[in-house]
Structure formats: structure tokens, C-alpha cells
Amino acid sequence: MWKETENQLTRTLTFKNFREAFTFMTEVAFIAESLNHHPSWSNTFNKVSFTLSTHDAGDKVTQKDRDLAAAIDQTASRYGV
């Protein structure tokens, strides 16, 4: 579940292994590019962590962030995450 605190949406997802996490990240990269809204994220082995906020809106959560979060969730669901 996404957590909204301090004008940011955050979430960490855990995958089966590094390959699955990296494949997921590649899919999300294409989605983010198509939405022209890019996440702050990190990857450590099988975990992918996100921080979403809209820089152009003064680093606040906007509909762009909610749309990207929904797309991330939809993509993650295909991995059983």
C-alpha cells in the first residue's frame, strides 16, 4: 500500500529475486516515460522503493503521482506483489 506523508507517496515492493525486480523496474521506466512523470526510486536486490511527488508543483502529491502509483500497482500485480 502507498503511504502519503510529508507531501510524498512512498511504497516498497518485494519481488522473488533481483531479476524480477529489475524486469519490473524496466516496465515502470517505460510507463513513467509515457506519462512524462518519473519516480525517485531505488533497488536493493529484490526490493524496489518509490518516492513520488511532483517537482513542478512544489514537491507535492498531485494527480500525476496518483496516476503513476496506480500504474505501478497494476504492473506489480502481474508479479503477484
41 belongs to a structural domain: yes
24 belongs to a structural domain: no
Tell me, what's the pLDDT at 45? 98
21 belongs to a structural domain: no
Its pTM stands at: 0.95
Least confident of 15-19, 54-58, 69-73: 54-58
Tell me, what's the pLDDT at 74? 98
DSSP 7-65: TEEEEEEE-SSHHHHHHHHHHHHHHHHHHT---EEEEETTEEEEEE-BGGGTSB--HHH
Q: State the total domains in the chain.
A: 1
Tell me, what's the pLDDT at 66? 98
Residues 23-49 pLDDT 10s: 999 999 999 999 999 999 999 999 999
55 belongs to a structural domain: no
Structural domain of 78 = 37-45+63-81
30 belongs to a structural domain: no
12 belongs to a structural domain: no
